[in-house]
């Protein structure tokens, strides 16, 4: 018997066996979608919805050009895992996302999860440049234990080997899974399930998102999301930050300390400032001491987001961040009264990048201007 005849014989035998057993071949079965979990996909634009002038190239593209219908068409198998509903929130590159849109997006997600008890979870498609910031804001403000997953892509939808379709499928499967309840807002990229508190974009290509030393909660496997860790910081229903009570966010600046730096000067003082710093020059120390005495809440964060326990503000006193030299090193500043000690009265960050520290400070300042109480928020969230 020739190879082709053997193949036909085996195929016919398999079909006959399945028919006799009262079943149909798997490729002929139609899934019962009525029992699948419901997932809401909210689109905001970004590379995942990007289109190139010349598809299939490595060239430029326009972010946010595709809608949810086109994104889902690239992943037809997604309907095997969830009943999908979609909603367009924005169609922009993520660099255009504003704090006002953070508030509006958090409200919309919070409302949807509260008003629809049978909704399993929410997926937000987003550009990667500001994805980690939006995800962290949602982590702090969406007051539900149901999964909220933020997902993006590093290659446009029309590019060579786009990563958007597989990322979107993983995000939907994560949002639809009961295993994801209570894990907080997550970023799902490249089969990694990453806590939004720790998710970072390390480099702008596929595989560029990671959770650092403590942010990866699990992985996407063939059987669905597999979790090995869970976040313990305050979030979800326990959050003190209610998006429905927010109308705007306080003005908080983000600056860097650097060799030869003199600190930041303002015509109009912000409510707070986050300084990315490994230590201050004498001039920087004097500048931020002056801001702190003027009522500006100063937060110091290590550039890599590492936790520096020695910088923590004590509840019974104003703490200190690492400064430059001592008083003897800064005689001009001491004589002018701009320098009072080799430290800056500041709130210290516990393992957050400066960008995320700014977001938490913005929310904390909607509650208090007391640095000791602000420190409590940084110790808790």
Q: Name the residue range of residue 70's domain.
A: 33-238
pLDDT 10s digits, 116-146: 999 999 999 999 999 999 999 999 999 999 9
For 6-36, give one letter per residue: b (16+ CB within 10 A) or e. Answer: eeeeeeeeeeeeeeeeeeeeeeeeeeeeeeb
Angle, vertex CA 86, rays to CA 28 and CA 33, nearest 5: 25
- Residue where a domain terminates, one of 238, 267, 284: 238
Active site residue 47: yes
Catalytic site residue from 19, 43, 44, 47: 47
Residue 275 · residue 173 · CB < 8 Å: no
- 147 and 197 fall within a common domain: yes
pLDDT 10s digits, 166-220: 999 999 999 999 999 999 999 999 999 999 999 999 999 899 999 988 899 999 9
pLDDT 10s digits, 353-377: 999 999 999 999 999 999 999 999 9
pLDDT 10s digits, 64-88: 999 999 999 999 999 999 999 999 9
Asked if the structure places residue 201 within a domain, the reply is yes
Q: Which residue has the higher pLDDT, 14 or 381?
A: 381
Asked if the model's pLDDT at residue 30 lies above 80, the reply is no
CB contact set of 308 (below 8 Å; sequence gap of 6+): 302, 322, 348, 349
Asked if the model's pLDDT at residue 315 lies above 50, the reply is no
- 109 and 228 fall within a common domain: yes
Q: How much is the mean pLDDT over the chain?
A: 87
- 199 and 319 fall within a common domain: no
Query: Distance (Å, rounded) from C-alpha 134 to C-alpha 149?
Result: 11
Q: For residue 95, what pLDDT band results from cuts at 50, 70 and 90?
A: very high
- Residue where a domain terminates, one of 238, 267, 290: 238
Asked if the structure places residue 26 within a domain, the reply is no
Asked if the structure places residue 259 within a domain, the reply is yes
Helix or strand (DSSP H, E) at 42:
strand 38-45
Asked if the structure places residue 245 within a domain, the reply is no
Looking up tokens 């289109």, which residue turns up?
A: 51
Q: For residue 305, what pLDDT band results from cuts at 50, 70 and 90?
A: confident
> How many structural domains compose the chain?
2
Which of 42, 103, 93, 101 has its CA nearest to residue 67? 42
Instruction: Give residue 85's pLDDT.
Output: 98
Task: Give CA separation, 248 vs 132, 135, 354, in Å.
Answer: 20, 18, 21
Asked if the structure places residue 24 within a domain, the reply is no
For 315-339, give one letter per residue: b (16+ CB within 10 A) or e. Answer: eeeebbbbbbeeeeebeebbeeebb
pLDDT 10s digits, 239-291: 999 999 999 999 999 999 999 999 999 999 999 999 999 988 989 999 999 99
């Amino acid at each position: 018997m020739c190879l082709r005849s053997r193949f036909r014989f085996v195929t016919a035998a398999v079909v006959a066996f399945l028919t006799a057993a009262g079943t149909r071949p798997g490729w002929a079965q139609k899934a019962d979608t009525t029992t699948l979990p419901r997932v809401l996909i909210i689109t905001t634009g970004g590379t995942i919805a990007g289109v190139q002038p010349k598809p299939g190239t490595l060239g430029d593209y326009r972010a946010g050009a595709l809608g949810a219908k086109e994104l889902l068409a690239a992943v037809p198998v997604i309907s095997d895992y969830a009943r999908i509903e979609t909603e367009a929130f924005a169609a922009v590159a993520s660099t255009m996302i504003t704090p006002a849109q953070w508030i509006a997006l958090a409200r919309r997600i919070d409302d949807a999860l509260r008003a629809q008890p049978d909704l399993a979870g929410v997926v937000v498609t987003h550009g990667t440049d500001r994805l980690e910031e939006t995800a962290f804001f949602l982590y702090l403000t969406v007051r539900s234990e149901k999964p909220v997953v933020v997902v993006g892509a590093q290659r446009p939808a029309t590019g060579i080997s786009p990563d958007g379709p597989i990322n979107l499928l993983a995000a939907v499967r994560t949002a639809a899974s009961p295993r994801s309840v209570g894990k907080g807002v997550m970023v799902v990229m490249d089969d990694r399930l990453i806590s939004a508190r720790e998710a970072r974009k390390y480099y702008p290509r596929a595989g560029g998102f990671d959770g650092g030393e403590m942010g990866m909660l699990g992985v996407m496997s063939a059987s669905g999301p597999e979790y090995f860790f869970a976040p313990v910081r305050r979030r979800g229903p326990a959050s003190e930050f209610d998006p429905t009570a927010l109308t705007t966010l306080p003005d908080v600046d983000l600056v860097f300390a650097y060799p030869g730096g003199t600190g930041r000067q303002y015509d109009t003082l912000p409510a707070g400032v986050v300084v990315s710093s490994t230590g201050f020059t004498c001039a920087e120390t004097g500048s931020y001491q002056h801001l702190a005495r003027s009522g500006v809440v100063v937060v110091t964060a290590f550039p890599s987001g590492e936790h520096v326990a020695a910088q923590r503000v004590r509840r019974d006193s104003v703490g200190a961040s690492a400064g430059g030299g001592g008083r003897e090193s800064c005689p001009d500043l001491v004589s002018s009264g701009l320098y009072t000690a080799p430290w800056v009265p500041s709130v210290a960050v516990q393992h957050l990048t400066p960008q995320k520290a700014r977001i938490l400070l913005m929310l904390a300042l909607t509650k208090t201007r007391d640095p000791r109480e602000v420190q409590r928020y940084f110790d808790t969230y």
